[in-house]
Amino acid sequence: MAIRDWPRLMQQAFDHFKPGAYFQLSGSVPDFKSDDGTLPPDPAYIEMGKTYFEMSQRIGCSGWEPTRWKEHSQNAGFKDVVEQVLKVPTNPWPKDRHLKEIGAFELPHFRDIIGNAFARG
């Protein structure tokens, strides 16, 4: 969330890489959803996501920026840009075994993020 000018960063990266270089980014956007419609309309983590976006905007950043990385990369001159959007559960509740495993791994990380990001409001 600390980078305020992603198009500039992408351009700087492109300008400094040698031809054929490989560049990889990984990020997340706390836009919580439910596959089966069981997400209540106002759970605390939905409010947390909204607060994240408000905080990022207040410091001059965008919490949605990872959704624009592909466009920024292409505009900077990168070729063959691949964007892979993954479903990342934040708990071990999914029925799918693989997603359940990911959720179990992600839960402590998710709790740390909440504790660190929102400890001081």
Taking the chain (121 residues) in consecutive chunks of 10 residues, what is each chunk's mean pLDDT? 89 95 89 81 81 88 92 96 91 91 90 73 52
pTM exceeding 0.85: no
Claim to verify: residue 80 and residue 101 sit in the same structural domain: no
Claim to verify: residue 75 and residue 90 sit in the same structural domain: no
Number of structural domains (the chain) is 2
Q: Where are the alpha helices (DSSP H) in 17-96?
A: 44-58, 69-76
Claim to verify: residue 67 and residue 113 sit in the same structural domain: no
Claim to verify: residue 68 and residue 100 sit in the same structural domain: no
**How far from 36 is each of 76, 94, 97, CA to CA, in Å?**
38, 10, 16
Q: Which residue range(s) make up the domain with 97? A: 86-121
Claim to verify: residue 53 and residue 90 sit in the same structural domain: no
Cβ–Cβ under 8 Å, residues 75 and 38 = no
State how far Cα 66 lies from the chain centre.
Answer: 6
